[in-house]
């Protein structure tokens, strides 16, 4: 029988990033199938494969049947007229077309036999589904393991002293994690997750675990740095702990490169000596990275995943942290591994940010729009000029500080502290209000102020020919393990000793006086991957904290056909708002806010359904 004809991706999806990735994949999939001579079935399968490949490129393991239908309508409402899309969608509600494709051997329930899997209400490419099915079995195996020799069973004064000062939820998390091979500690910003983990470390060390048998890691270098700073504060004065506890990105701990993630290896001896591995910002873990970790985890090692289940999911495929917390929290057994911390030490119940975050998580679209307007937290997107005027107002104090710094009255530390006070967060990198465009506009504005108000800076070197200038806010966009710089590190450009340096905060303890020595300097001529960072995406900001946050969201009504809005949802709003410690303002249309609040399905994945339906193991 004839093979399905080569699919022209550009007919339906015009994004370059998708076309380049999907064309090869589509050709691969269609060659693995024999097609019936029914033209309707042939057209349906072409659409379905394109949709599922698009889901994969955008980080989703699959689509629900409903989402598949809505996506066909939303992305290109005129492209499918020749395929009788209206009739197809009518039949979709009765699943006639799904059964039609099943009869044509296009997909079924077994990922080893079909290129597309239909599982419950989910449609997924067989490769994506196979990874989630395997991951679910690994999670089930680790979740049921309880260690008998638990520090929770030790009635010692050390346990009592270590738990002193912790609230009830934190104590339960510490004692529960000490008794388990696998556990999850989840909670919002400032709920004391790191405090609980450091108490767990102290208990395990008292029980005979050595500091060099403990590893603290995270999916990104920036998250590792923040975890290290917290560790330095908690173990101030305990140099043995600070010197011997491993701190590394998860990729580096596992000895893998990003390109290696698809090739899952078996359990190895690389991590054989570890007794405790803690993964911070676990909501950033995708399916492949978590699979790699579970495959290589030593039998005797405890694994603690720590994160905020309400934050944005990973950039890669899947959302396993969300699926695990949802499925395991519903377990009726006594071995539930989920420990949730609810008491926030950062936001008081009456704080503006705390109230807004709660409203985003539990309110509906009408309620959040009314709330934002009533509290005067929402500013409309009148035009680009008015948006940039608001941004200039937000950065006015910092721009004045830059000018004052040229006289030598402002220290590098003062500039650094000021640079971390205010941040502009965007939903996208591209677009008129994306981080790339905003950073370019801000750079031009600040350089103009330098050059207009004084010529002394040029002579002194405060403004360079390459566009760098003293106080310019920069971010690393790649890892430099040799220098200890990581993707996401924020710092400033400073002029000293006749050249420009990239300065970042040094890891300090709580007793640090904030002197000049609390900065690290790196010659910029030796660095690659620096980019301006007055504005950054919400994804990139995940795990960071700023005093004041201005959120700029691209307009969903103006750019739906050009921009991917699949990730603009409640989680993005929640993550953006909770990056602020003092104040937050949002520049957006009410239509975009409503879209984000109503877009809640993106957090769900087939993994959740698989975990909930796995047969229990004795």
Of 31-40, 227-236, 308-317, 411-420, give the lowest mean pLDDT range: 31-40
Identify the band that residue 119 occupies on the pLDDT scale cut at 50, 70 and 90.
confident
User: Whole-prediction pTM value?
Assistant: 0.81
Question: From the CB of residue 8, how many other CB atoms can be counted at a distance below 10 Å?
Answer: 12
Strand pairing category for 499-505 and 535-537: unpaired
Task: Tell me: pLDDT of 297 over 60.
Answer: yes
- The percent of residues above 90 in pLDDT, for the chain, comes to 21
Indicate the SS3 state at residue 535.
strand
Residue 123's beta-bridge partner residues? 63, 118
Convert the pLDDT of each residue in 359-370 to its tens digit: 998 888 999 999
Q: How far is CA 522 from CA 182, 233, 299, 475, 490, in A?
A: 40, 24, 41, 13, 13
Which tops the pLDDT comparison, 33 or 532? Answer: 532
Query: Edge-to-edge strand order for the sheet containing 530-532?
Result: 519-523, 499-505, 490-496, 473-476, 530-532
From residue 161, alpha-carbon distances to 156, 196, 199, 425, 607 in Å are 9, 13, 10, 42, 40
The Cα 132–Cα 62 span in angstroms is 11
Radius of gyration of the chain (CA): 26
* List of residues 6+ apart from 114 with CB closer than 8 A: 105, 106, 107, 108, 126
Query: Does 1 score more than 60 pLDDT?
Result: no
Average pLDDT in the 349-359 region?
82
616's CB contacts (< 8 A; 6+ apart) are none
- Least confident residue range of 135-149, 402-416, 506-520: 506-520
Q: How many CA atoms lie within 13 A of 536 on its CB side?
A: 29
Average pLDDT over residues 511-537: 78
**For residue 233, what pLDDT is reported?**
81
Q: What is the pLDDT of residues 69-117, one digit of tens each?
A: 666 555 544 444 444 545 554 554 445 555 555 554 555 556 556 677 8
* Per-residue model confidence (pLDDT) at position 4: 31
Query: 464 has which bridge partners?
Result: none
Q: Are 85 and 72 in contact (CB under 8 A)?
A: yes
Pairing of strands 214-218, 276-279: parallel
Region 154-174 average pLDDT: 77
**Which of 265-269, 407-411, 505-509 bottoms out in mean pLDDT, i.e. has the lowest?**
265-269
> What is residue 32's predicted lDDT score, i.e. its pLDDT?
47
Q: Which pLDDT does position 587 carry in this prediction?
A: 92
Spell out a b/e string for 230-250, using b for 16 or more CB atoms within 10 Å of the CB, else e: bbbbbbeeeeebbeebbbbbb
Q: Give residue for tokens 């975050």.
A: 357
Range scoring the smallest mean pLDDT among 343-347, 561-565, 604-608: 561-565
Instruction: Find the range with the poorest average confidence among 422-436, 471-485, 558-572, 582-596.
Output: 558-572
- Map tokens 């950054």 to a residue: 536
- CB of 597 closer than 8 Å to CB of 370: no
Q: What is the Cα–Cα distance from 249 to 582, expressed in whole angstroms?
A: 30
Mean pLDDT of the chain: 77
Check residue 486 and give left, alpha or beta (phi > 0: left; psi -120 to 50: alpha): beta
Q: What is the arrangement of strands in the sheet containing 122-125, beginning at the earlier edge strand?
A: 63-64, 122-125, 116-119, 107-108
If phi > 0 it is left, if psi is from -120 to 50 it is alpha, else beta; for residue 410 that is: beta
User: How remote is the C-alpha of 288 from its chain's centroid?
Assistant: 15
Q: What is the pLDDT of residue 511?
A: 40
């Amino acid at each position: 029988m004839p093979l399905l004809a080569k699919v022209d991706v550009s007919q339906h999806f015009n994004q370059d990033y998708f076309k380049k990735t999907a064309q090869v994949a589509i050709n691969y999939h269609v060659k693995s199938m024999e097609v019936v001579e029914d033209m309707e079935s042939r057209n349906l399968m072409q659409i379905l494969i394109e949709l599922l490949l698009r889901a994969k490129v955008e980080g989703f393991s699959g689509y629900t049947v409903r989402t598949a239908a809505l996506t066909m309508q939303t992305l290109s409402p005129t492209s499918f007229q020749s395929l009788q899309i209206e009739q197809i969608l009518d039949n979709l509600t009765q699943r006639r077309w799904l059964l039609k494709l099943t009869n044509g051997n296009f997909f079924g329930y077994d990922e080893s036999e079909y290129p597309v899997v239909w599982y419950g209400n989910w449609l997924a490419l067989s490769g994506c589904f196979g990874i989630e099915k395997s991951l679910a079995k690994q999670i089930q195996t680790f979740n049921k393991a309880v260690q008998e020799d638990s520090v929770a069973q030790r009635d010692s004064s050390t346990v009592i002293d270590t738990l002193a000062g912790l609230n009830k939820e934190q104590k339960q998390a510490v004692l529960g994690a000490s008794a388990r091979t696998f556990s999850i500690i989840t909670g919002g910003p400032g709920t004391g997750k790191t405090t609980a983990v450091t108490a767990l470390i102290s208990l395990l060390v008292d029980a005979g675990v050595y500091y060099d048998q403990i590893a603290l890691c995270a999916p990104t270098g920036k998250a590792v740095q923040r975890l290290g700073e917290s560790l330095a504060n908690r173990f101030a004065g305990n140099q043995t702990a600070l010197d011997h506890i491993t701190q590394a990105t998860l990729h580096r701990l596992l000895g893998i490169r990003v390109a290696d993630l698809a090739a899952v290896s078996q359990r190895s001896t690389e991590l054989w000596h570890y007794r405790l591995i803690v993964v911070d910002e676990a909501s950033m873990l995708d399916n492949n990275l978590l699979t790699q970790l579970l495959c290589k985890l030593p039998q005797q090692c405890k694994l603690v995943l720590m994160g905020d289940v309400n934050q944005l999911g990973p950039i890669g495929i899947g959302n396993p942290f969300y699926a695990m917390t949802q499925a395991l929290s519903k377990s009726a057994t006594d071995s539930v591994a989920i420990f949730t911390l609810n008491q926030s030490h950062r936001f008081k119940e009456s704080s503006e940010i705390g109230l807004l975050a709660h409203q985003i998580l539990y309110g509906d679209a009408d309620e959040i729009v009314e709330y934002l307007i009533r509290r005067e937290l929402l500013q409309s997107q009148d035009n680009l000029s008015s948006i940039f005027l608001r941004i200039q107002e937000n950065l006015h104090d910092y721009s004045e500080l830059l000018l004052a710094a040229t006289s030598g009255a402002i220290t590098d530390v003062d500039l650094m502290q000021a640079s971390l006070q205010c941040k502009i967060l965007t939903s996208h990198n591209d677009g008129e209000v994306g981080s790339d465009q905003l950073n370019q506009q801000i750079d031009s504005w600040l350089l103009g102020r330098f050059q207009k108000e004084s010529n002394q800076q040029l002579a002194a070197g405060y403004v360079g020919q390459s566009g760098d200038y003293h106080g310019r806010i920069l971010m690393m966009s790649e890892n430099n393990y040799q220098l200890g710089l990581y993707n996401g590190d924020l710092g400033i450009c400073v002029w000293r000793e006749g050249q420009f340096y990239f300065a970042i905060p040094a890891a300090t303890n709580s007793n640090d006086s904030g002197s000049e020595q609390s900065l690290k300097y790196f010659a910029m001529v030796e660095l690659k991957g620096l980019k301006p960072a007055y504005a950054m995406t919400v994804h990139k900001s995940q795990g960071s904290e700023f005093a004041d946050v201005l959120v700029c969201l691209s307009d969903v009504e103006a750019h739906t056909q050009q921009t991917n809005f699949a990730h603009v949802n409640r989680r993005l709003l929640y993550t953006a708002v909770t990056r602020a410690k003092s104040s937050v303002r949002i520049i957006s249309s009410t239509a975009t806010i409503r879209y984000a609040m109503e877009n809640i399905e993106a957090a769900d994945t087939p993994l959740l359904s698989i975990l909930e339906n796995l047969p229990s193991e004795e």
